[in-house]
Amino acid sequence: MSSTPTREIARRVFAQEFNDATYTFKESDDDRAPVYVLLPTGQRANRVFVVGTLTETDDVGEEAEYWQGRIVDPNGDTFFTYAGQYQPDAASMLRDLEPPEYVAVVGKPRTYETDDGNVNVSIRPESITAVDETTRDRWVVETAERTLERIQAFETETPDEYVQMAREEYDLPVENYRRSAVSALGKLQETAPSAD
């Protein structure tokens, strides 16, 4: 379209799959080329959109403020998000919000290797806003739908390059993610009807 690079699509993914997405790659050698995490269902993600329950915020910084937020999806799995001085708006949201609260987060996936060799996946937020339950419910249904679509694409006989990459890099049955979609939708139905 224009001379600016195409904007990265914000992927929809439940926390279980997101936290499993420990493999990262670039599409080119350019230093500024975007870094993608590879979702185990076979899609690259440079941005995610997440709506869940903010259950806890904590300033984990040593010298400067560095806020950690825990955002839980209907399955009880947790997205971790971290905002410091370079994400001032998101950091001040985490400082000011009083959990529990439904929040919408747009952000970049980041991976971090711990001393014991585990890879933690978190979100570096571009924005955090407080939203209502309707928005959360809509996100859950949408995320289930997108997850199922990825699983279908994963299981086709002519998989694309990211599916092939996922098959090589991960040893994680995608059936897990189908289950997490089913269970998230089930949780919604238990709490429904919320409309009055």
- Residues lying near another protein in the complex (CB under 8 A): 1-2, 7, 9-12, 47, 49, 51, 89, 103-106, 126-127, 129-131, 134-135, 137-146, 148, 151-152, 178, 181-182, 185-186, 188-189, 192, 194-195
Both tokens assigned to 69: 């937020």
Least distance CB 113 / another protein (angstroms): 28
Least distance CB 132 / another protein (angstroms): 8
Q: Which is nearer to another protein, 134 or 164 (CB)?
A: 134
Least distance CB 182 / another protein (angstroms): 5
Q: Which is nearer to another protein, 62 or 161 (CB)?
A: 161
Q: Which is nearer to another protein, 61 or 176 (CB)?
A: 176
Residue 141: closest CA among 193, 184, 87: 184
Least distance CB 32 / another protein (angstroms): 20
Instruction: Give the DSSP letter of residue 8.
Output: P
- Angle, helix 133-154 to helix 175-191, in steps of 10 degrees: 160
Q: Which is nearer to another protein, 113 or 142 (CB)?
A: 142
Measured CA to CA, the distance from residue 181 to residue 184 in angstroms comes to 5
Both tokens assigned to 83: 């905002």
Helices (H), 51-132: 88-96
For residue 98, is it left (φ>0), alpha (ψ between -120 and 50) or beta? beta
